[in-house]
């Protein structure tokens, strides 16, 4: 994957200053930039919860009303594994052990996705060209218009009514359709170039997809029947999809963030300033939400320093805000989840006309 878009690399005083301060923080505190004991405990809790919920739902088979609640919790647990384990491991920030990062990044394959595709789409395209249409494939949401450079179609006028439904089906659509679409066309987006797809990754793709289908579809059908399986998978998938999509959208698709039109393949700002302009934080004082989301409510810090574990984001948040103030750069942060969500709805409404 390649792009001709370039960022300003002249007089990058802000970036140099911020990098120096962040490096100095880790040197002075003698902390590693990767995860610590807390992230290992959290990973153990989430994976154990996954195993327990799956066992109860498939083999114990509680009353249907309890099953509905447990399926919803299972969906939230899937999202939490993605936020807390796969995401850090996929950025090589979970541990300083590269092999452990690689192993844990495959938890995405356990959940039905594909880590090879994710790294191309997320680590490279999204983290480099955030909110730039045609480059950031994470803002290419089917049946929705969220960037002013995207073509306005008739059905977009209703997107403020159906967007939650799309978020609800997004996870299941991703693992059961979109991954296969990428596999056979070997392209992340409609306008993107073809990517290199090694034989080893093709084998991993099919092996993990078959194992996931057996774990989430075949085994449950054998033990609880096809209808409860479809209902349970639908509930878990909807909760997981809404969780994943909403967290991403509140970080980038809000009225305060920028959606730039790129002329002559050049971004006027240095890369770090572009990240701050196109990214937002929300509810950073909510410790429960921070724990569940793997620090992804500190999205600004994550985009500036993706190879630093989320356990450090609260500390980095103060340094980044102070540096932005020194250089007169707007730092976007919503006090609550609700404020961020309402700002997201404003973008959806604005882009519908």
Number of compact structural domains in the chain: 1
**Whole-number Å distance between alpha carbons of 135 and 295:** 25
Name residue 333's beta-bridge partners.
Answer: 281
Query: Residue 260 above 80 pLDDT?
Result: yes
Q: How many residues does the chain have?
A: 353
Q: What pLDDT sits at residue 130?
A: 92
Whole-angstrom distance, CA of residue 332 vs CA of residue 273: 12
Q: What percent of the chain has pLDDT over 90?
A: 84
Instruction: Taking each helix axis as running N to C, give the angle between helix 226-252 and helix 159-173, from 0 to 180 degrees, rounded to the nearest 10.
Output: 120
In percent, how much of the chain has pLDDT > 70? 98
- Asked if the structure places residue 17 within a domain, the reply is yes
Task: Please indicate, yes or no, if residue 216 is contained in any of the structural domains.
Answer: yes
Assess if residue 225 is contained within a domain. Answer: yes
The answer to the question of residue 177 being in a domain is yes
pLDDT digits (tens, 9 = 90+) for 213-236: 999 999 999 999 999 999 999 999
Instruction: Compute the mean pLDDT over every residue in the chain, rounded to the nearest whole number.
Output: 94
Residue 24 CA from chain centroid, whole number: 28
99-105 long-range contacts (CB < 8 A, ≥24 apart) are 104/43
Residue 240 pairs in a beta bridge with: none
Q: Provide φ and ψ at 281, rounded to 5°.
A: -100, 160
pTM: 0.93
Residue 330 to residue 271: CA distance in whole angstroms = 15
Q: Quick check: is 175 in a domain?
A: yes
> Does residue 307 carry a pLDDT above 60?
yes
For residue 139, being part of any structural domain is answered with yes
How far are the Cα atoms of 57, 118, 139, 315, 353 from residue 329, in angstroms, in the given order? 50, 31, 24, 19, 30
Q: Which residue has the higher pLDDT, 140 or 318?
A: 318
Residue 190, C-beta contacts closer than 8 angstroms, at least 6 positions apart: 140
Instruction: Give the long-range contacts of residues 230-235, CB within 8 A, separation 24 or more.
Output: 231/71, 232/57, 232/67, 232/71, 232/74, 233/172, 234/172, 235/68, 235/71, 235/72, 235/75
- The yes-or-no verdict on residue 178 having pLDDT over 90 is yes
Instruction: Name residues whose C-beta falls within 8 Å of residue 330's C-beta, 6 or more positions apart in sequence.
Output: 276, 277, 324
| Residue at 1 is within a domain | no
The pLDDT score that the predictor gives to residue 263 is 75
pLDDT digits (tens, 9 = 90+) for 82-103: 999 999 999 999 999 999 999 9
Domain that holds residue 338: 6-352
Residue 124 confidence class, pLDDT cut points 50, 70, 90: confident
Q: Best-predicted range by mean pLDDT among 120-129, 134-143, 146-155, 259-268?
A: 146-155
304 in any annotated domain: yes
Looking at residue 191, what is its pLDDT? 64
Picking from 116, 190, 164, 351, the residue whose alpha carbon sits closest to that of residue 257 is: 351
Alpha helices by DSSP H, listed for the chain, are: 13-29, 37-55, 64-81, 87-90, 98-105, 107-110, 115-118, 127-128, 159-173, 179-185, 199-213, 219-224, 226-252, 271-277, 287-292, 299-304, 313-326, 337-350
Q: How confident is the model at residue 1 (pLDDT cuts 50, 70, 90)?
A: very low
Q: Which residues contact 108 (CB under 8 A, 6 or more apart)?
A: 82, 86, 90, 114, 115, 118
Is the per-residue pLDDT at 189 higher than 90? Answer: no
Q: CB of 205 within 8 A of CB of 114?
A: yes
């Amino acid at each position: 994957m390649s792009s001709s878009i370039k960022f300003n690399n002249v007089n990058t005083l802000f970036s140099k200053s911020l990098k120096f301060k962040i490096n100095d923080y880790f040197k002075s505190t003698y902390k590693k930039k990767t995860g610590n004991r807390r992230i290992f405990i959290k990973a153990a809790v989430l994976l154990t919860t996954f195993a327990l919920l799956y066992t109860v739902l498939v083999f114990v088979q509680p009353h249907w009303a309890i099953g509905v609640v447990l399926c919803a919790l299972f969906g939230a647990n899937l999202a939490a594994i993605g936020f807390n384990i796969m995401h850090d491991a996929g950025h090589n920030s979970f541990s300083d052990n590269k092999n452990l990062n690689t192993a844990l990044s495959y938890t995405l394959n356990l959940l039905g996705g594909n880590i090879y595709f994710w790294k191309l789409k997320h680590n490279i395209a999204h983290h480099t060209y955030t909110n730039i249409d045609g480059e950031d494939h994470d803002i290419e949401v089917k049946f929705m218009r969220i960037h002013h450079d995207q073509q306005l179609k008739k059905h977009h006028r209703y997107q403020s009514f159906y967007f939650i439904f799309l978020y609800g089906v997004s996870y299941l659509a991703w693992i059961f359709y979109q991954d296969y679409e990428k596999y056979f066309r070997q392209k992340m987006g409609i306008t993107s170039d073809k990517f290199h797809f090694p034989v080893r990754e093709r084998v991993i793709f099919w092996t993990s997809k078959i194992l996931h289908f057996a774990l989430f579809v075949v085994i449950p059908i054998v033990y609880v029947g096809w209808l409860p399986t479809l209902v349970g998978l639908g509930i878990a998938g909807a909760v997981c999809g809404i969780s994943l999509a909403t967290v991403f959208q509140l970080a980038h698709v809000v009225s305060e963030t920028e959606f730039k039109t790129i002329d002559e393949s050049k971004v006027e700002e240095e890369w770090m300033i572009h990240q701050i302009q196109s990214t937002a934080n929300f509810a950073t004082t909510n410790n429960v939400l921070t724990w569940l989301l793997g620090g992804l409510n500190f999205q600004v810090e994550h985009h500036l320093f993706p190879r630093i574990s989320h356990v450090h984001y609260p500390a980095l948040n103060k340094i980044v805000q102070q540096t932005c103030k020194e250089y007169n750069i707007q730092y976007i942060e919503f006090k609550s989840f609700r404020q961020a969500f309402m700002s997201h709805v404003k973008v959806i409404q604005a882009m519908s006309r």
